[in-house]
Amino acid sequence: MNAGKVLVFGEDTRSFLATVRSLGRRGVAVHVVPANLRAPALASRFIAAVHAPPPWMGDGAAWLAAVEALLRAERFDLVIPCNETALLPLQQHRARLGALARLAIPDDAAIAVLFDKHATRELAQRLGIPVSPGRLPLPGESAGDVLAALGMPVMVKPRRSYVLERLDRRGKVQFVSDAAELARLLPALPAGEHVLEGFFPGQGLGVSLLASGGRVLQAFEHHRVREDGSGSYYRVSAAVTPALLAACTKLVAALHYTGLGMFEFRRNPQTGAWVLLEVNARPWGSMPLPLGLGVDFPWRWYRLLTAGEEIPAVGYRVGVFGRNLVPDLHAVLAEAQARGAGQLAVFGRWLLELGRVVTGREIHDVLVRDDPRPALVELGQMLGEAARRGAARLPGWAALGRRRARGRLRAALRRAAADRQGAGEVRLVFVCLGNICRSPFAAALLAARLADRPRLRIGSAGMLPRPGRSTPPFGVQAAAAHGIDLAAHRSTYLFRAEAAAATLLVVFDAATRRAVLDRYPDLHARVIRLGDLFDGAEIADPIDGDAAVFAATYAAIAAAVAELERRMENLCHRF
């Protein structure tokens, strides 16, 4: 075994888990930085340590300080980001962090091309590589102009999936098949930030490779068996198509590229014509398939970057299927629901496919013999969520939720009363996703009603790492009707120190509860849902609503806060 130490950013059960397993099996000590600390992949036996620096936000100072301290303390051989939310901050501080550890990211010139769909298209066209008809929107053009040039349907793609200023939000590809919809969409597109592209029908293909100095060292091809707008959870290995490999070779040579990449193509099975769609210049979602077939991309990449070793290319079996079981099951369920009368055929086909495991023609992304725990955790979470949804339909479930929430409120206040270090102080924090609509209003309203309680500290925060945002005008208007002024409010993020110091974290819906516990799973007992103290209903985010939606939302919050106030008055005599 080879000694070594790496830091891997991510938490998914595809590219991240494949990278962790690849290096861990070779004896490398793998430390990880996940965003979701309840992710099933973290159950892998190959993870030596988990670190949780704050997410990138604002100017990134808190993230940079924490990551820099981590690199100084641990002295990693290599830092591998499996997603762009880590890659872009690492690129931003390449000089500073690269002095402490080698960074497994492309050079700036390659990032400028491969992480920009328009720039990728332009380079491909210069090299004679086919792409779908497409371009940037033209000023003042109509939907008719676009359709005349590109036909229908049209793909509206963000040039970059992520930008450093909004790492919490992935750019969404929109499939537009209606002229009226396109007419509504075009004026709202930020100038120069989207690509309009004609749809090329066919099957999705991927050519994965490792390159060094513009030379392809290893290639692997897969074909998508089932796919949706977010990718494919079922695919099959195939012999590398010479024309596709030649296109990849041209691109990596033009960029003098070093690193991993997965080149996405679409091929028409009737005509054989194909186009390049985009390039993933980082670990990619289908990586468990080549890894399971002996094409160990992460290990070869590690050796290339840390030792300069170019391991010779290896062959692999074709016709072997790779499945990410849980999301593939969700996709099959959705297909069956859409089919209606054809549901039995869908499930029958799926069960027959699973039989390929017995013949050795199918491998699974997550469930592997030497590291089964991530699959067991993932399956347990899926069954637990299904059980909760089923239980929510049972009579008395809402009443049980109210009893639990009220019990947690009582227990939290008793803990605060017994906490000598905290001097009997109650710290209540309202939490929503953005901290611009619901939580600041609820916090200000309760603080105003309990202003005579000197040991009561009431605040608000959000789970999106986007500080400094103001409350929307409709929110300011609706809050004013309740005597609350939110004009000066600016959003803040719920950092661990504040979350851990809180007596109670009050959320508004299941999504926020999940976001809190994904980041701080040890604080489960301190989280309650505001509606469970009142009528059991969730209070949805009004962010995209009009004045009437904000007024109704704030009325619901006011009613629930009044119930919280009443219960705290009964329980907080000493505060």
Mean pLDDT to the nearest integer, 527-550: 90
Average confidence (pLDDT) over 49-61: 95
The secondary element (H helix, E strand) that includes residue 195 is strand 194-198
Mean per-residue pLDDT of the chain: 91
Q: Residue type at 370?
A: D
Domains 5-105 and 397-571 alike in fold: yes
Q: Say how many residues make up the chain.
A: 575
What does the pLDDT look like over 147-200, one tens digit per residue?
Answer: 999 998 999 999 999 999 889 888 889 999 888 999 999 998 988 899 999 999
DSSP collapsed to 3 states, 74-111:
HCCCEEEECCHHHHHHHHHCHHHHHCCCEECCCCHHHH
Regarding the domain with residue range 203-387, which homologous superfamily does it belong to in the CATH classification? ATP-grasp fold, B domain (3.30.470.20)
State pLDDT tens for residues 294-331: 999 999 999 999 999 999 999 999 999 999 988 888 88
Contact 127, 254 (CB under 8 A): yes
Domain with residues 397-571, CATH architecture: 3-Layer(aba) Sandwich (3.40)
Contact 101, 93 (CB under 8 A): no
Token reading at 324: 């990410």
| Amino acid 411: pLDDT | 80
Residues with catalytic annotation?
432, 438, 541
pLDDT grade for 1, boundaries at 50, 70 and 90: very low
CB 347 within 8 A of CB 336: yes
User: Residue 418 — pLDDT band, cuts 50, 70, 90?
Assistant: low
Task: Output the pLDDT for position 168.
Answer: 86
Q: What's the Cα-to-Cα distance from 504 to each of 65, 407, 428, 535, 568, rounded to whole Å?
A: 29, 12, 5, 19, 12
Least confident residue range of 172-186, 233-247, 518-532, 561-575: 561-575
DSSP 469: P
CB atoms inside a 10 Å sphere around CB 191: 8
Band (413; pLDDT cuts 50, 70, 90): confident
How confident is residue 222, by pLDDT bands cut at 50, 70 and 90? very high
Cα–Cα dist 31/79, whole Å: 10
Q: How many CA atoms lie within 13 A of 507 on its CB side?
A: 22
CA–CA gap between residue 107 and residue 109 (Å, rounded):
6
CATH-assigned architecture of domain 133-198: 2-Layer Sandwich (3.30)
Look up residue 481 and give its DSSP letter. T
The CATH architecture of the domain made up of 5-105 is 3-Layer(aba) Sandwich (3.40)
- For residue 329, the SS3 value is helix
pLDDT above 60 (res 2)? no
342: pLDDT strictly greater than 80: no
- Where in the chain are the domains? 5-105, 133-198, 203-387, 397-571
For the stretch 494-509, pLDDT in tens is: 999 999 999 999 999 9
- Residue 111 phi/psi, 5° resolution? -60, -40
